[in-house]
Structure 1
Amino acid sequence: MRGSDAVQEALFMFAKLDDFVPTDHPLRAIQKLVNEGLTRLNGLFNTIYADTGRASIAPEKLVRALLLQVFYSIRGERQLMEQIRYNLLFRWFVGLAIDDAVWDHSVFSKNRDRLLEHEVVEAFFTEVMTLADKAGLLSKEHFSVDGTLIQAWASHKSFRPKDGSDDSDASGPGRNAQANWKGTRRSNDTHASTTDPDARQYRKSHNTAAILAYQGHVLMENRSGLVVGTIVTHADGFGERAAALAMLDAVPASRPRTVGADKAYDTRDFIEACRRRQVTPHVASNGSGHRRSAIDGRTTRHEGYRLSQTKRKRIEEHFGWGKTVGRIRQTVYRGIRNVDQHFKLTMTASNLVRMARILSAVPQGGAA
């Protein structure tokens, strides 16, 4: 018999949000980790918010919503609020009941900026790494380092002379006229972006176009491939090596360590700086042409060197995930401090996905 197309809603209905989420949904394992990390930030949250006054959005809900924005490639706050309004999975993860009102996108943005101002994302990243350490997922001896370009939220037309003059030969109708800089020298010494002054013009190689960008740097431990250090710097030719040393210094060390890296790190000053820190530089040799590599057979002859060169490529998995699923191919934030928090949040989300997958594969009561 043909079924009826009519919709008959029950007068009363009792249902929990948890009933709508499959027991094997990937977000269940991630939510458990997120909630445990947020619980450890309760003291920080108490110092950020006043004891009296009108209640704002709970910071725990804000962080969960920001993570959803990364997990599901949601670019703007308007779209995020729309998704939370009708998506039961999103409501469950954030911690909103079915009949709870969803925040206005402008209210959400203001409360999010408070988290960025107090570096809550960085504190949350640290707590997630503490959970990974307790689970035995982190190596304390073997690391890898690499960097990637993050395109700034600014156009070439905003890159103007610092003296206030106009060097563009604009032509054509309308406000967005065609600009022509042919034959004009434009460098970071003489020009700056009026949209995002912290962004720098940078080209990755002679065969690529220059863009306004930042550099995001990652320090990864080699056991589970988890990010243990991140930092965003101005885009320049020295940022990668300086950031690598800064991240290594931030990791407590009680024994000698190794760090794998690509050819860009094969410079004498970086190699010597690593050895002063009791860090063995497992850097890819860059001895092409007339250039002499700073790495010799005393390092490359060991099996550990070849293993480090294999492991270091796993950093690209974090960069690839962050640029295709997350939103770090081109940031929507302005200012190096905000871009740094955005990059840390994306790498934290990438870690959570990997940790949930690893821990879910471990039998109950077993070791990772």
Structure 2
Amino acid sequence: MMGPRQEAQPALFYEFSLEDHVPQNHLLRSIDRFVDLSGIRTYLADFYSHTGRPSVDPELLIRMLLVGYCFGIRSERRLCEEVHLNLAYRWFCRLDLSDRVPDHSTFSKSRHGRFRDSELLRHLFETTVARCIEEGLVSGQRMAIDASLIEADANKQNSTPKEEWDPAQVDPDDAPRAVREYLATLDEAAFGAASEVQPKFTSHSDPASQWTAARKGPAFFSYSDNYLIDTDHGVIVDVEATRSNRQAEVGSTKTMLGRVKARFDLHPERLIADAAYGTAPMLGWLVDRKIAPHIPVLDKSGRSDGTWTRADFEWDAANDQYLCPEGHELKQFRRNYSDPNRGPTGKGTARYRALKEVCQACPSKAKCCPNADARKITREEHEDARQVARDIAKTEQYVISMKLRKKVEMLFAHLKRILGLNRLRLRGPCGANDEFLLAATAQNLRKMAKLLPAPQQPRKA
């Protein structure tokens, strides 16, 4: 039997509760338990005027941004439409059915003003990390670091070759916001001062972004999203935006480790990373701070002609010399210098040489230095730290660490596939930093919601 036609019947009064219409197993119910914005108004009090027209509640704006990044809603205009229509989003944002959703332009004004001046998004992210620590999801013993390329909002058609680009000719007063931010970061280690090598092209709309072909495909402008995670449950403990080159990415490691030490008193016993972080200065910095480097050593001392490599020579630290497989000595200095500036300095790259007459008479010269009169070996300043990393690489713990490192890559895959952060919407270093902080905050909230779900309540009859 066909039922009656369904028609909307107007009524004068409705009894409606958002609480009753949001499912108990909805993701936002679990996330809401870990979002504490009670102190946000006090945090921003100094950045608001005491007179004038009342502003939109900053807590409402933050909750809407969290909804957008948790559910991959990249457009703020679309976010406003979704919050207007979706009952669960309204419930999370503390909006009643009759409450008006803020205009999308409000986000830009707040983000470029009070939010950025007060570093509110960094404060929000660190508050989330503190909650993860409180819930026992972070031990701080083992950490991993990695970087991922995120395409910038720029293209080659609106760019200039490096031969024609001169920052000194840019007038900051007439430049867009992203260009002014670029000029302000020319001396920062994460951007302009990361490398002396200039990129092949510089974007007019976002000159701080890096022209790169690191993905072995067509080149594009990008930023690097750097994550420092605790490997216990894959919680992101710090995030940093840098230019997309190895020097900037490796340098961000020191920044993030120092920040988590100062903010949360976290000092890992080991750091896990790939070979890009296995440079001698980086390994030396970690060993000096009692952090075990579970990192492949970036070593270019190997030879392709089959002759003996540096690994075939034995290091004699007591006598500051190498011993070749035949037992001959390779020394850096063979006499005492009256001038200490001419002797061993302990810094930079040291060169160890065998005696010419010894090598010429050696029966293994063809295996050692067939095209040279005597064998020479270089030893870097942080070679001891490199050897520490090589010794760690022979342990079972290192094998486990290499498996744990994949947790960082899984977070980047989640960032791009689930949260949809394949390309930035905001320009400039500050825009990239804002997006990375919000995305990392959303990932941590989703992590807590998954590991610590909200208790299910029986539905009302």
Question: Is the TM value for this pair above 0.5?
Answer: yes
5 Å-filtered alignment, 1:208-247, equals 208-247=217-256
Letter aligned with residue 15 of structure 1 = F
Q: Is the 8 A contact 1:219 1:230 kept in 2?
A: yes
Q: Which residue number corresponds to residue 345 of structure 2?
A: none
Q: Which residue number corresponds to residue 83 of structure 2?
A: 84
Structure 1 residue 308 displacement after superposition: 1.7
Q: Which residue number corresponds to residue 354 of structure 2?
A: none
Q: Which residue number corresponds to residue 141 of structure 1?
A: 141
Q: Which residue number corresponds to residue 131 of structure 1?
A: 131
The answer to whether structure 1 residue 249 and structure 2 residue 258 are counterparts is yes
Question: How far, CA to CA, are the matches of 2:438 and 2:131 in structure 1?
Answer: 16
Report the TM-score when normalising by structure 2.
0.68
Deviations 1:142-182 (A, max 9, x none): 100000111110001112146768xxxxxxxxxxxxxxxxx
5 Å-filtered alignment, 1:276-291, equals 276-285=288-297, 290=302
Unaligned runs of 5+ in 2: 166-196, 304-309, 312-385, 457-461
Letter aligned with residue 95 of structure 1 = R
Q: Which residue number corresponds to residue 194 of structure 1?
A: 204
Aligned with 2:427 (options 334, 348, 352)? 334
Unaligned runs of 5+ in 1: 166-186, 364-368
The structure having more radius of gyration, on CA atoms, is: 2
The answer to whether structure 1 residue 324 and structure 2 residue 412 are counterparts is no
Deviations 1:77-110 (A, max 9, x none): 2111111121111111111110011222223332
CA 1:255/1:315 → structure 2, altered by over 3 Å: closer, same or farther?
closer
Q: Which residue number corresponds to residue 302 of structure 1?
A: 395
CA 1:321/1:277 → structure 2, altered by over 3 Å: closer, same or farther?
same
CA 1:283/1:190 → structure 2, altered by over 3 Å: closer, same or farther?
closer
Deviations 1:303-343 (A, max 9, x none): 33222211111011221111122243110110011111110
Q: Which residue number corresponds to residue 110 of structure 2?
A: 111
Letter aligned with residue 219 of structure 1 = L
Q: Is the 8 A contact 2:424 2:432 kept in 1?
A: yes
Aligned-partner SS, 1:153: coil
Letter aligned with residue 247 of structure 1 = M
Q: Which residue number corresponds to residue 31 of structure 1?
A: 32
Q: Is the 8 A contact 1:322 1:346 kept in 2?
A: yes
Question: How far, CA to CA, are the matches of 2:267 and 2:73 in structure 1?
Answer: 42
Deviations 1:257-298 (A, max 9, x none): 200011211222211111112111001355689278945552
What RMSD, in angstroms, separates the aligned Cα atoms of the two structures? 2.5
Aligned-partner SS, 2:452: helix
Q: Is the 8 A contact 2:260 2:266 kept in 1?
A: no
Q: Is the 8 A contact 1:145 1:218 kept in 2?
A: yes
Letter aligned with residue 264 of structure 1 = A
Structure 1 residue 300 displacement after superposition: 2.0
Q: Is the 8 A contact 1:188 1:201 kept in 2?
A: no
Q: Is the 8 A contact 2:25 2:454 kept in 1?
A: no
Q: Is the 8 A contact 2:140 2:268 kept in 1?
A: no
Aligned-partner SS, 1:275: helix
Deviations 1:203-230 (A, max 9, x none): 215x332211111101001112100011
Q: Is the 8 A contact 2:272 2:401 kept in 1?
A: yes
Moved more, 230-239 or 296-305: 296-305
Letter aligned with residue 232 of structure 2 = R
Question: How far, CA to CA, are the matches of 2:130 and 2:148 in structure 1?
Answer: 25
Aligned with 2:286 (options 271, 274, 277)? 274
Letter aligned with residue 192 of structure 1 = T
